[in-house]
Amino acid sequence: MDVKQKKEGLGMTSRRTRNRLVARLREQGISNEKVLDVINEIPRHLFVDEALAHRAYEDTSLPIGFNQTISQPYVVAKMTETLLSGPPKKKILEIGTGSGYQTAVLAELVEKVFSVERISGLVKRARRILGDIGYRNISFKHADGGLGWENQAPFDSIIITASPRTVPESLLNQLADDGSVLAPVGDGDNQELVLFKKTGTEFQKTVMEPVKFVPLLAGTS
């Protein structure tokens, strides 16, 4: 059974509900049809607490325990669309596995995803959910996300799903030539989604829009 069959067999919610979410994302400016198709297919209700499953296809973030949240679908779509713009990406590093939902979206669109999470309970849950759905192109690591995954570098792109005040140099050093880092940079209520594109030893910075993420913390738990 392939991934698509497994997704369709895991408590499919109303197709109309999913279509409504995708229509809203289009209205908000998401134009990459591959990203929209993936958002439409992935069973987001599997990545939230059962008590909140009825809200899984609302365009909102939701708590997932451990003082963490599953990101708003618009933010997931926007970050994915931005990260995948330009030359094809084969190998992506995700800092902050969280619920595993963003991981799943990326895994549908690139050859290999390496995902690092500092909270062991989230790593275990995401590995189980994504494994049950049928993903086989994701590698997980329980570690301090700020350190990245050095022995798997270089990466075509790096996505950070928690907010650092500045992007750690250790992550910038793990980029391939012409690679990019996408991160919600800032502190508290003052965060902006920023894209850093590497050219030689220089980085071009593009500020995109205000966002709200949990902080990127050091260490593990």
76 is in which domain, residue-wise?
A: 3-210
Q: What is the CATH number of the domain that holds 134?
A: 3.40.50.150
Within a domain: residue 219?
A: no
Within a domain: residue 164?
A: yes
pLDDT at 105 over 80: yes
Within a domain: residue 216?
A: no
pLDDT at 13 over 80: no
Within a domain: residue 93?
A: yes
Give me the count of residues in the chain: 221
**What pLDDT, in 10s, does the model give residues 175-189?**
999 999 999 999 888
Within a domain: residue 218?
A: no
User: If you count DSSP H runs as helices and E runs as strands, how many of each does the chain have, helices first?
Assistant: 7, 9
Give the pLDDT confidence score for residue 3 in this predicted structure: 53
Number of domains in the chain: 1
Closest CA to 158 of 180, 129, 191: 180
Q: Which of the residues are catalytic?
A: 71
Question: Could you report how far apart the first and last alpha carbons of the chain are, in Å?
Answer: 35
In the structure, what pLDDT confidence band is assigned to residue 9 with cuts at 50, 70 and 90? very low
Alpha-carbon distances, residue 74 vs 26, 42, 66 (angstroms): 9, 14, 23
In the structure, what pLDDT confidence band is assigned to residue 37 with cuts at 50, 70 and 90? very high
Within a domain: residue 37?
A: yes
